[in-house]
Amino acid sequence: MKKQLIQLIQNIINQVLKNHGIENDSAIDVQTPPDRKNGDFSINAAMKFAKACKCPPQKLAAEIVALLEAETQWFSKVSIAGPGFINMYLSDEIIEKYFNELCNNKNILTAAVNEVVPTVVDYSSVNIAKQMHVGHLRSTIIGDVLSRVIEALGNPVIRQNHLGDWGLPMAMVIYKAEPIIRKAEKDGVSLEEVLPLAELEKLYKAATAECKEDPKVADTCHEYLVKLQQGDKELLDLWKKITRVSMAEVYRIYRLLNVKLTEADERGESFYRDMLADTVEEIKKSGLLKEDAGAQCVFLDEFKSKEGNPLPVIIQKSDGGYNYATFDLAAMRFRTHKLGAKRVIYVTDARQALHFKQVFATARATGILADPNVKLEHVPFGSILGEDNKPLKTRSGENVKLAELLKEAVDRAYNVVNEKNPKLSEEQKKDVARMVGIGAIKYADLSQNRNNDYVFSFDRMLALNGNTAPYLQYAHARICSIFRKANESIDTYSAKAKISAPEERELMLKIMDLEQAVVSVATDLRPHVLCNYLYELSVCFSSFYDKCSVMNCEDSSIKASRLEICNMTRKTLAYGLNLLGIEVPREM
RNA sequence: GCAUCCUUAGCUCAGUUGGAUAGAGCAUUUGCCUCCGGAGCAAAAGGCCGCGCGUUCGAAUCGCGCAGGGUGCGCCA
Q: Are residues A431 and A535 in the same domain?
A: yes
A252 domain residue, yes or no? yes
Q: Are strands A30-31 and A41-43 parallel, antiparallel or unpaired?
A: antiparallel
Report if CB A309 to strand B is under 7 Å. Answer: yes
Residue A115 has pLDDT above 90, yes or no: no
**Looking at A238, A260, A282, which one is the last position of a domain?**
A260
Which nucleotide has the least CA–C1' distance to A529?
B14
Q: Which nt is closest to the CA of A566, judged by C1'? A: B36
- Picking from A236, A260, A284, the residue at the C-terminal end of a domain is A260
Same-domain status, A431 and A564: yes
Residues A246 and A278 in one domain: no
| pLDDT-based confidence at residue A396 (cuts at 50, 70, 90) | low
What mean pLDDT, rounded, does chain A reach?
A: 93
Q: How confident is the model at residue A403 (pLDDT cuts 50, 70, 90)?
A: very high
Which nucleotide's C1' is closest to A319 (Cα)? B75
Span A495-500, mean pLDDT?
Answer: 96
Strand B lies under 7 A from the Cβ of residue A528: yes
Q: State the pLDDT at residue A529.
A: 97
Query: Is there a single domain that holds both residue A529 and residue A411?
Result: yes
Look at residue A113 in the predicted model and tell me its pLDDT.
67
Q: Quick one: A303 and A321 in the same domain?
A: yes
Between residue 275 and residue 304 of chain A, the positions with Cβ below 7 Å from nucleic chain B are: 292-295, 297, 304
Judged by C1' against the alpha carbon of A528, the nearest nucleotide is B14
Point out the nucleotide closest to A168 (alpha carbon to C1′).
B76
- A350 contact to strand B (CB, 7 A limit): yes
Residue A375 located in a structural domain:
yes
Over residues A262-289, mean pLDDT: 96
Based on the fold, state whether residues A63 and A137 are members of the same structural domain. no
The CATH number of the domain holding residue A503 is 1.10.730.10
* pLDDT confidence of residue A462: 74
Within 7 A of a protein CB, which nucleotides of strand B?
1-6, 12-17, 19-27, 35-37, 39-42, 57-58, 70-77
Is there a single domain that holds both residue A533 and residue A439?
yes
Predicted confidence at residue A427, as pLDDT, reads 97
Is A482 near strand B, with its CB below 7 A from some atom of it? yes
**Residue A567 Cβ under 7 A from any strand B atom:** no
A387: pLDDT confidence band, cut at 50, 70 and 90? low
A487 touches strand B (CB under 7 A): no
Q: What is the CATH number of the domain that holds A10?
A: 3.30.1360.70
Residue A419 lies in a domain: yes
Nearest nucleotide to the CA of A311, by C1', is B74
Question: What pLDDT does residue A343 have?
Answer: 97
Name the pLDDT band for A479 (thresholds 50, 70, 90). very high
| CA to C1' distance (Å), from A396 to B20 | 54
Residue A100 lies in a domain: no
In tens, the pLDDT along A422-466 reads 999 999 999 999 999 999 999 999 999 999 888 878 777 777 789
Does A232 map to a domain? yes
Residue A374 and residue A485 in one domain: no
Strands A295-304 and A310-316 turn out to be: antiparallel
Chain A residues 537-556 within 7 Å (CB) of strand B: 539, 542-543, 545-552
Taking the C1' atom of every nucleotide in all shown strands and the CA of A419, the nearest one is B39
A90, A107, A134 — which closes off a domain? Answer: A90
Quick one: A206 and A145 in the same domain? no
Claim to verify: residue A444 and residue A568 sit in the same structural domain: yes
Model confidence over A565-580: pLDDT tens digits? 999 999 999 999 999 9
**Does residue A99 form part of some domain?**
no
Taking 80 as the threshold, does the pLDDT of residue A472 lie above it? yes
Q: Give the nucleotide nearest to A559 (CA→C1').
A: B36
ipTM, two decimals, is 0.96
Residue A14 has pLDDT above 70, yes or no: yes
DSSP string, A68-102: HHT-TTTEEEEEEETTTEEEEEE-HHHHHHHHHHH
State what percent of residues in chain A have pLDDT above 90: 84
* Number of structural domains in chain A: 4
Q: What per-residue confidence (pLDDT) applies to A86? A: 95
Residue A526 and residue A545 in one domain: yes
Say whether pLDDT at A500 is over 70: yes
Most distant CA atoms of chain A, gap in Å: 91
Q: What's the CATH code of the domain at A147? A: 3.40.50.620
A377 is in which domain, residue-wise?
Answer: 119-163+271-385
Residues A409 and A357 placed together within one structural domain of the fold = no
Q: Is there a contact between A162 and A125 (Cβ–Cβ < 8 Å)? A: yes
| Whether residue A21 has pLDDT greater than 90 | no
- Is the pLDDT score of A93 beyond 90? yes
Q: What is the pLDDT of residue A112?
A: 64
A111, part of any domain = no
A470 CB neighbours strand B below 7 A: yes
Nearest-10 crossing angle of helices A233-257, A402-420: 20
Mean pLDDT of A11-34: 89
The pTM score is 0.96
Per-residue confidence (pLDDT) for residue A272, from 0 to 100: 97
Using pLDDT thresholds of 50, 70 and 90, give the confidence band for residue A269.
very high
Q: Is residue A285 part of a domain?
A: yes
d(CA A306, CA A300): 15
pLDDT (average), residues A387-393: 69
Residue A156 has what pLDDT? 96
Mean pLDDT, residues A512-536 taken together: 96
Q: Is the CB of A323 under 7 A from strand B?
A: yes
Q: Cα-flanking dihedrals φ and ψ of residue A459, to 5°? A: -60, -40
The average pLDDT across A302-320 equals 90
pLDDT tens figures, A362-383: 999 999 999 999 999 999 999 8
| Minimum mean pLDDT range among A38-42, A49-53, A314-318, A324-328 | A49-53
Determine the distance between A239 (CA) and B29 (C1') in angstroms.
63
Report DSSP letters for A378-440, one per residue: EEEE--EE-TTSSB-B-TTSPBPBHHHHHHHHHHHHHHHHHHH-TTS-HHHHHHHHHHHHHHH
